[in-house]
Each structure stands twice: as C-alpha cells, then as structure tokens.
A and B are shown apart, each in its own frame.
Chain A
Amino acid sequence: MNEPVLEIKGLDVDYGVGAEAVHAVQDVHLTLHRGEVLGLAGESGSGKSTLAYGLTRLLPPPGVIRGGEVIYHPDDGEPYDVLQLTPKQLRDFRWAETSIVFQGAMNSLNPVHKVSTQLMDVIKAHDPRSTRASRLARARELLRLVGIAADRLDAYPHQLSGGMRQRVMIAMALALEPRVVIMDEPTTALDVVMQRQILAQLVELRERLGFSVLFITHDLSLLVEFSDRIAIMYGGRIVEQARGVDLYRDALHPYSDGLLHSFPALRGPRRELTGIPGSPPDQRSLPLGCAFAPRCPHAFEPCAGHVPVLGAPADRDDTTRTVACWLHPAEDDATATLSLS
C-alpha cells in the first residue's frame, strides 16, 4: 500500500513568462501511493487544477512548467520523469498510465462524436492492432462497468444527462486500466444524490481494479468521507497533508482549520462556523513569506518574511502528516521533501 506510484517533486507551474507570470503552482511536493485515494482540496484558484494538468503537461498556453520532476513508478521497470518524455513517449504514457477525469464532464466529451467513437478512439490510439469488434466489445464492457446500458453507445453526448456523461468519462478513464486516475472536481456540477452514486461506483471500481486516485475538489466534507489522505493547497503550495481523519479532527494549518470551519455539518451538534476572513492572494505578486499570513489569525513575525517548509510537524508524533506552517515547524528540513517513509 505504501509504494509510491507518482511522485511530484518541486513542481513549479506558471501562467505566462516574465514579469507578468502568474505563479500558480510553486514548489509542490506530493506523493501518490499505490491504490490510495489522495484528496486535494483548497479554495478556488489555489492551483489544484493547474497541478493536475501540469503533471501530465496538459496545460494550455500560456501555461509553462518552470521546473520540478514528476516521477512515475511503473509496475515493472524503472521509474522515470514524466516531464522529460518526448511527445511520442508522452502520448503513450498518457491514459495508459495516467488518465484524467476533468472538471465538468459536460465539456469533456466532443459534442460531434458518438460516445462509442470516443471510447474506441482511445483504445485504438494505444493499441492500433486491435480490431474494431474487440474495441466495441471493450466499450460495451466499460459502459456496463459504470452502470450505463450498452445501447447508449450510439448516443451523442448531448443526449445523455450530466450524470451519465460523467460516468462515461469515468468509464473512458478506466479504458486502459491505468495505474493513476486524476479526477478534477468530477461531481461539482451534479446534485448530491447523483454525486453519491458516482462516488460509490468509483470506490467499488477502485477496489476491483486497484488504481490510485488523485481526487480534486474544494468540498472538504466530501474528501473527509472518501479519501485516504488529504492535501490542502493554498496560494499554489501544499500547506498541509494528512490522513482524512487526522485532518478533520486536528487540522494544524490555520487555513485548513478555517476551511473545516466554513461548512455546516448535516448531522451532529451544530458546530460554530468561523469561515476565513479576507480574500485569496494575488498570485502575480505573492507575499514574501507564508501566502496565508495576511489572513491568518495566528500570524506572527516569521510568517511575513519566510516561506514555511512542508514537513512533518515537530510538535506531533505522527510521520504520516506534513504541514507548512511556522506554528508547527518541521523537525528536520531534510525529511520535508520526502513525504513519507
């Protein structure tokens, strides 16, 4: 369970070049383990999508990757850096090893092609020698996997409901049985009933197929329930990373804490909701120190001048979690870069 499958090291992603550049993702270290669901949360604009697209080099212009490594550990063979692949290698890598379900399935399907065409497309691209019949059979099977009748193969995207489209996308993501599935807010546009249906299906599929999921959302309550680990992003950096339960019970970073006190709970006693005052930082010119410092109720002098390093907090006896906050400085900067043993 603890073998890494995808290691992000020091990833820097900008929009634009030069002085106008927006530093959307900065020095991100994150490891995805085999078979786990890693939740990535953070408020709107914190760089979650950018991170997800960046690690597969799918950012549209003016996005550029300024540096870092994305090490992929295949089942067999040596780990390699995804960012160094040639276009040809990258194309082969994509979807076969890492697939993505995008924010808003409404727009992820090509409106002019049938669902079957789009499903079979991807199989053909990675296995040119497959026959049409075998591809069709596979497409059928995939749809069944996500609970859609096979007669919908000939439907066009607009003929499907939002939930069905989202499930088609999940089916497509699983078409090549990748090791990693990245999901960028796959359920935001759906209502809760549908959302739960899809997530239940996903959990079940993961158990069967054993892929790892990077699950992006800003709905923390959803993550707490579904993911093994949660990473919180703020201002382009990971500010905290811990197991869901730990985070929910005892968030170390003031931002995580604020987030957790921003949504009401449906059950149990009414909690006090504090919210997070202030507004998100301008990523064109981030504050010198901790990006959250201007909004932080606990900010003190090192915060403004020095960027806190992500590392296991010295004040907690817990190696499974890391945090980047001067309130909980890392015990050893050297360990900070390697997240878990």
Chain B
Amino acid sequence: MALPAADFKAVAPLPAEAIAGPAAKRRRFRFLTGGKTLTGLIVLAFFVVIAIIGPWIAPFDPSARSNDLLESPSGKHWFGTTHLGQDIFSQVIVGTRSVMLVGLTAGIVATILAVLVGVTSGYLGGSAGEGLSALSNVFLVIPALPLIIIIGTALPSGGDYLVAVIIGFTSWAWGARILRAQTLSLRRREYVEAARASGESTWRIIFFEILPNLTAVIASSFVGTVVFAVMSEITLAFVGVSSFSEWNWGTILFWAQSQQALAQGAWWWFVPAGLAIAILGTALSLLNFGIDEFVSPRLRSGGKTKAKNAAGKTVRLRVGFTPVLGREKP
C-alpha cells in the first residue's frame, strides 16, 4: 500500500553474476533506510496492525457504559473514561480501523481517478485531453471539505466505505493535475517515442511505458490523499455531520468536544485521539519525504551534510564552498 509501488522493479530478480546488481538494489532502497522514511514506515505499520487487530485487543467494548464516569487515566482505564464510563483507550484502539480504512480506501479511489484522468488527459492531448483537464480544474475549484460535508449530509447513512468514496471522489483533482503535467513531459520522452516507433499500441504505452515511470509521483500523491482523507474523516466526525456509527478518532473528539471535556478538565478525553492523528499524519508525511527524495534524487539527504576535516573539526558541506579536509600528514 503505502510502500511506493515504484519498487516493484527492484524486486525483479537480478542474476547473481551481475555485480552491480545488489549494489544498485541497495541504492534504490536506500531511501527506505533513511531515518525519516523508516520511522514513517514503522509507525504506519504499527497503526495498520492496530487497525487489524484493534477490536480483539481492546480491553473493553468501546461503547459499553460503566459506572466509572469521567475517570482520569488509571491502570484499569489507560486513557480514562467518558461521561458514560466508556473506556477511551478501547475507543482509540477500535477507532483506528475506521480511520485507516477510510484513509486508505479514499486514497485508492482518489489515486485511481487521478491516474485515469491525469494520465489519459496528459497522453491524449487534443480536445479530449483538454476536456479532462478542465474537469479536474473544476473539481479543484470546488472546495472539497464543504462539498464533502454537503454530500455527506445528502446521503442518509452509510458506513466508512461511503465516506471514503465521497472523500475519494472529491479529492483527486490535485493529483490528476500533477500527473497530467508529468505525463505531458513523459510523453515527449524519447523512450515513449521509441516505443511508439517500434510499434507498441497506445494502451500498452500508457500502462507499460508511462505509468511505471509515474509510480513515485502516484505513490506520493496517494500518501497525500490519505493524509487529506484521514483529516477529512476526522473533521466530519468532529463537526458532527458524518453519518456513520463506528468509532473513529474524530468521533471521540466529537464527544469530547460536545461534552466540553476540556472545560470539565477531562484532558485525557481529548489528548490521545488528537495525538494519534498527529502521529499518523507525521508518519505519512515522513513517508512522503522518502518518496519525494526518491523521485528527486537531489533531495536525497542520504548523503551526509557534515564531514570531519583533518584537524578533527566538523565542516558543513555547502554549495559554493567545497570544504577542504586536508590530508593527515604522515
């Protein structure tokens, strides 16, 4: 999923005798080993695991009332309880699934739409291309969040998937625009021309020559959409317009807010869900760094920014003034 699909090519087995092989592979995966990306991946994996096993490991039924009304965190209730005595820790754990589900589904929907519209309009050109480009511009102009609120209101009730699809359908335009620009430039590349000259059909050119080269961009726009979708879902729940019944972090915040948790001094009601969102968002952003750096090697911070000179002092590698390290005198 969030692992950039761009790397499927690295998975292709390289012959053992290709000496450059493992090294090249290592270099290609290096963006994953960067501290930022790895942290992002680990945190994301953690949330995915919680999303999958959450309902089983939650100590309580998140909706179950108890007599421990509005208690602060304790050994029994790690994150405290609500005004109904519900266990907030369980709510956060169980709510993870909905958040991840909506985020990923919306990300997938939006990415598919963005790819379809963006790549097609970029490759086709002409009036069809212009038309598709105009379509994505219209969607770009329409403000997404209010639109999501309205559509969310328009549909009587629906599960996470519906919300995800709505978010997906309203948030693809930016990705489409970027992909279109990329495709326009790729279309002029010689290898695309060469493929055409060797007799490849149009759809094969789009899917096998152009798309693989866009994977990094697609992956990064996917991650971006997931962030947006998660934020949207939570916002919807927070303002109380979403119509779904499952727990998610936004619902927790909605309850905290409508019960004025902070005024009541019940910070524990407010803090965990918000932090969870922030951590997930950060993880996704970190991942995006990695993909960005992968797309644009110049951003790679894999190279060091500091070096030690002969005298043992640290010097910064900077543009315009190459450091002189000096040789240790024998």
Q: Chain A residues in contact with chain B, CB under 8 A?
A: 12, 16-17, 53-54, 57-67, 83-84, 87, 90
Neighbour of B303 across the interface among A16, A58, A59, CB < 8 A: A16
Q: Is chain B's binding surface mostly helix, strand, loop or mixed?
A: loop
Of the A-B pairs whose beta carbons lie under 8 Å apart in the complex, a sample of 15, sorted by A's number, is: A17-B304, A17-B307, A17-B325, A57-B322, A60-B322, A62-B317, A64-B324, A64-B325, A65-B323, A65-B324, A67-B310, A67-B325, A67-B326, A83-B324, A90-B321
A63 to B321: give the CA distance in the assembly, Å. Answer: 10
Minimal beta-carbon separation of A52 from chain B (angstroms)? 12
Are A64 and B320 touching (Cβ within 8 A)?
A: no
**Chain A contacts for B16, CB-based, 8 A:** none
Are B322 and A64 touching (Cβ within 8 A)?
A: yes
Minimal beta-carbon separation of A205 from chain B (angstroms)? 27
- Select from chain A the residue with minimum beta-carbon distance to B23: A284
Are A54 and B307 touching (Cβ within 8 A)?
A: no
- Select from chain B the residue with minimum beta-carbon distance to A54: B322
Are B303 and A62 touching (Cβ within 8 A)?
A: yes
User: How many chain-B residues does the 8 Å CB contact rule pick out?
Assistant: 17
- The answer to whether B318 has its CB under 8 Å from any CB of chain A is yes
Are A62 and B324 touching (Cβ within 8 A)?
A: no
Minimal beta-carbon separation of B71 from chain A (angstroms)? 55
**Chain B contacts for A59, CB-based, 8 A:** 322
**Chain A contacts for B324, CB-based, 8 A:** 57, 64-65, 67, 83-84
Interface flags for B305-330 (1: CB within 8 Å of A; 0: not) read: 10110100000011111111111000
- With A64-B325, A67-B326 already in contact, the answer to whether A58 and B307 are too (CB < 8 A) is no
Nearest 3 pairs of A and B residues by beta carbon:
A67-B327, A61-B317, A59-B322
**Chain B contacts for A62, CB-based, 8 A:** 303-304, 317
- With A12-B327, A66-B327, A67-B326 already in contact, the answer to whether A57 and B307 are too (CB < 8 A) is no
**Chain B contacts for A84, CB-based, 8 A:** 324
Minimal beta-carbon separation of A254 from chain B (angstroms)? 25
Known pairs A17-B304, A17-B325, A61-B318; list 12 more (Cβ under 8 Å). Answer: A16-B304, A54-B322, A59-B322, A60-B322, A62-B303, A62-B304, A65-B322, A65-B323, A65-B325, A66-B326, A67-B310, A67-B327
**Chain A contacts for B319, CB-based, 8 A:** 60-61
A61 to B320: give the CA distance in the assembly, Å. Answer: 9
Minimal beta-carbon separation of B8 from chain A (angstroms)? 26
A62 to B301: give the CA distance in the assembly, Å. Answer: 10
Within 8 A of A (CB), among B157-181: none
- With A16-B303, A17-B307 already in contact, the answer to whether A63 and B322 are too (CB < 8 A) is yes
Within 8 A of A (CB), among B63-100: none
Are B327 and A58 touching (Cβ within 8 A)?
A: no
A90 to B323: give the CA distance in the assembly, Å. Answer: 12
- Select from chain B the residue with minimum beta-carbon distance to A15: B303
**Chain A contacts for B305, CB-based, 8 A:** 61
**Chain B contacts for A17, CB-based, 8 A:** 304, 307-308, 325
A65 to B308: give the CA distance in the assembly, Å. Answer: 12
A64 to B308: give the CA distance in the assembly, Å. Answer: 11
**Chain A contacts for B317, CB-based, 8 A:** 61-64
**Chain B contacts for A54, CB-based, 8 A:** 322
Minimal beta-carbon separation of A135 from chain B (angstroms)? 23
